């Protein structure tokens, strides 16, 4: 007795066509949920791991977040806990910092006051013209520019009018901010961006 199958012919695989707009909607929903959770800073480690396993069905094969790439949210979960950026910005040996230690006697006790002026931090000049030394100097100068941190905290907010975050929030560029960030992400990954 032969089986009847109205969906497919015998020995033929199912062919399911997913409309591209469905893929974009799923992607947008995933990114929105992740951004909301990250903004609220309440993602648990289990949620981050589940996000890494999330697949978006594409025409040829499912698409997942590359665990080795910059979109891996596990890094975003662990790095703040380790304070990697804070330590890199404030304690990197490539950054010339000004420390001041003063002592004074107060009622017979010797007291010490430690101060640090973060406003004048700057990268050490490259010792040679080697590519690595020049890169290190530029990298640490950019790090200081991105995180000026006059109060000692790590923030992209700054009072400087020529900062990147202010440029993104400017009236003329605000509506294109997401496209600008997407282009930067594409450049970071070595991809090409076409508008």
DSSP states of the chain as a string? -PPP-SSS-TT-----PPPHHHHHHHHHHHHHHHHHHHHHT---HHHHHHHHH--B--SSS-B---TTSTT-HHHHHHHHHHTHHHHHHHH-TTEEEEEEEEEEEETTEEEEEEEEEEEEEEEPPPSSS-HHHHHHHHHHHHHHHH---TTSS--S--S-TT-HHHHHHSTTTGGGHHHHHHHHHHHHHT-----
**How many CB atoms sit inside 10 A of residue 140's CB?**
21
Q: Which of 108-112, 147-151, 173-177 has the lowest mean pLDDT?
A: 147-151
7 within a domain of the structure (yes/no): no
184 within a domain of the structure (yes/no): yes
Record the tokens describing residue 191, joined without a space: 């991809």
* Per-residue pLDDT at 99: 82
Record the tokens describing residue 26, joined without a space: 């799923």
pLDDT value at 44 more than 80: no
Whether 154 and 95 map to the same domain: the answer is yes
Segment 119-148 mean pLDDT: 87
| Torsion from C-alpha of 173, 177, 182, 184, nearest 10 degrees | 60
88 or 118, which is more confident: 88
Whether 144 and 154 map to the same domain: the answer is yes
Task: Give the tens place of pLDDT for each residue, 57-111.
Answer: 766 777 777 777 766 777 777 777 778 788 888 888 999 988 888 888 878 888 8
pLDDT value at 189 more than 80: no
Point out which residues pair with 43 in neighbouring strands: none
Record the tokens describing residue 187, joined without a space: 């450049």
195 within a domain of the structure (yes/no): yes
54 within a domain of the structure (yes/no): yes
- The mean pLDDT value of the chain amounts to 75
Whether 68 and 129 map to the same domain: the answer is no
Point out which residues pair with 117 in neighbouring strands: 98
Q: Which of 14-18, 53-57, 81-85, 180-184 has the lowest mean pLDDT?
A: 14-18
Whether 156 and 167 map to the same domain: the answer is no
- Above pLDDT 70, what percent of the chain? 73
Whether 150 and 102 map to the same domain: the answer is yes
Residues whose CB falls within 8 Å of the CB of residue 127, separated by 6 or more in sequence, listed in order: 133
Residues whose CB falls within 8 Å of the CB of residue 128, separated by 6 or more in sequence, listed in order: none
195 or 179, which is more confident: 179
* Per-residue pLDDT at 77: 73
* Per-residue pLDDT at 5: 45
Task: Identify the domain containing residue 125 by its residue range.
Answer: 91-160
* Count of the separate structural domains present in the chain: 3
- Greatest mean pLDDT among 27-36, 128-137, 150-159: 128-137
Report the predicted TM-score, pTM, of the whole model to 2 decimal places: 0.48
5 within a domain of the structure (yes/no): no
């Amino acid at each position: 007795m032969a089986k009847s199958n109205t969906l497919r012919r015998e020995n033929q695989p199912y062919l399911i066509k997913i409309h591209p707009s469905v893929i974009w909607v799923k992607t947008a929903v995933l990114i929105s949920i992740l951004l909301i959770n990250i903004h609220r800073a309440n993602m648990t480690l289990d949620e981050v791991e589940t996000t890494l396993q999330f697949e978006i069905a594409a025409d040829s094969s499912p698409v997942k977040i590359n665990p080795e790439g910059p979109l891996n949210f596990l890094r975003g979960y662990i790095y703040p806990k380790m304070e990697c950026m804070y330590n890199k910005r404030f304690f990197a040996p490539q950054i010339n910092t000004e420390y001041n230690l003063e002592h004074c006697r107060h009622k017979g006790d010797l007291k010490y006051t430690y101060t640090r002026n973060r406003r004048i931090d700057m990268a050490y000049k490259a010792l040679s013209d080697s590519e690595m030394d020049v890169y290190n100097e530029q990298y640490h100068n950019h790090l200081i520019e991105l995180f000026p941190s006059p109060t000692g905290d790590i923030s992209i907010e700054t009072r400087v009018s020529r900062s990147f975050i202010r440029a993104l929030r400017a009236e003329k560029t605000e509506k294109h901010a997401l496209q600008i960030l997407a282009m930067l992400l594409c450049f970071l990954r070595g991809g090409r961006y076409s508008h």
